[in-house]
Amino acid sequence: MTDELDIYRRQGFAHTLGIGAAPAVVIVDFVIGFTDPAHFGGGNIGEAIDQTVNLLSLARAKGWPVAHTRVIYADDGADAGAFAAKVPSLRNLTETSELSQIVPELQPITGELLIRKRQASAFFQTGLADWLAYRRVDTVFIAGCTTSGCVRASVVDACSHNFRTIVVTDCVGDRAIGPHEANLFDMGQKYADLMTLEAIKSAT
């Protein structure tokens, strides 16, 4: 790994962006279906949800904007596209399905944005970037699952929208630890800072 890190350093990756003056929290797809390995869960997702409870408490205490996402398809799948064709079981995430409901411990409260999306990124055709910009947000803390999927897509898009993007490393999870760790490494090199919740508390 040392040799691999050396090439990233020589090429100028992994600079830090830091926390700006106006953070927000985006919680990606922490729904019931992702707590159960029989559906979409497994790995360290449960532990990430538990820690995100503390992140959400911090955000509310600080008055930071908070957005939550759910993947939602029509009951008949009429709005499904290539993403759902690649993973057909995603079509089970309908508006009323138990699998698609945000876990009880992270339920949104009044004033927090609830986004329904059909693609991996929290930003793709959702209006999230505009919602954040209206609130003059400059930093996005991202939690959620899966690290290698919807979290990663959201991180890339947050960076593309020129937000300081920070992955809260103990508040993201994946159904398999290998992809989780590999994607954290890669996001930290290219698109985001990596910080634990404790480090964020200390810095804010």
Q: Which amino acids are annotated catalytic? A: 150
Cis status, amide bond into 146, omega within 30 of 0: yes
Inter-residue contact 157 to 122 (CB < 8 Å): yes
CA distance 91 to 182: 27
For the beta carbon of residue 90, count every other beta carbon within 10 angstroms: 20
Tell me which DSSP letter residue 167 carries: E
Inter-residue contact 24 to 64 (CB < 8 Å): yes
